[in-house]
Amino acid sequence: ITIDLIFGTPQMTNEKWTNKIIQGDCLILVPQLPDDFVDLVITSPPYHIGMKYDIYDDIKLSHEEYIVWLRDIFAALKPKMKTGGRICINIGDQKNGHITTHSDIIQFMTKDLGCLIKTTIIWYKHQLGNRTSWGSWKSPQNPSFPTPFEYILVFCKDTQEKIGRKEDITITKEEFITNSLAVWEFPPE
């Protein structure tokens, strides 16, 4: 996973990470982070299915290897999270839902790593391309179900509550109402 780290807590003493945007390989960056330092992680991991990227080598892995790779990354990240810190993982299932990647992630995040699940958001992407599965066209024997959505899995470290100062809240009432629904509808970039 390539990770963009954005830190800006003024009272932190580690200047290497404070008020900086640092992009790089998470397997190298995460171990360098101080423990109990990160409030929020937002990531959309590559699927390791051999896709072509400009700056990332998406080597093909089996599903089992992929899940172990993800678990190792999030296991390294967990001690770096503050109590109540959130990890948001944007992921889609593979092969039109035949491989339930989101379920595997929920299992290792909660059972193996001891994270608490905050919510599962469905991101309906409004993409109508590739909605017809010609291999199963009009075939009730083995229909295919293309998925025009992905999951955003939100996990917490140790507690569901995020401690903070009320006067630092910047979200409007309208933004809170819209974004606290478990279905988000917008097209991808």
Distance CA 92, CA 46 (A): 10
Cα three-residue angle 115-7-167, rounded to 5 degrees:
85
How many angstroms from the chain centroid is the CA of residue 88? 4
User: Which pLDDT score is estimated for 97?
Assistant: 72
Counting residues of the chain whose pLDDT is more than 90, the rounded percentage is: 45
Beta strands, E only, the chain? 2-7, 20-25, 38-43, 81-91, 116-124, 149-156, 183-185
- Other CB atoms within 10 A of residue 58 CB: 13
Listed residue (158, 152, 161, 66) closest to 113, CA to CA: 158
User: Which pLDDT score is estimated for 141?
Assistant: 73
Task: For residue 133, report the phi and psi dihedrals to the nearest 5 degrees.
Answer: -100, 95
Q: Work out the average pLDDT over 103-126.
A: 95
Query: Residues 91, 44: contact at Cβ < 8 Å?
Result: yes
User: Which pLDDT score is estimated for 113?
Assistant: 97
User: Which pLDDT score is estimated for 123?
Assistant: 93
Q: Calculate the average pLDDT of the chain.
A: 83
Confidence of residue 11 (pLDDT cuts 50, 70, 90): very low
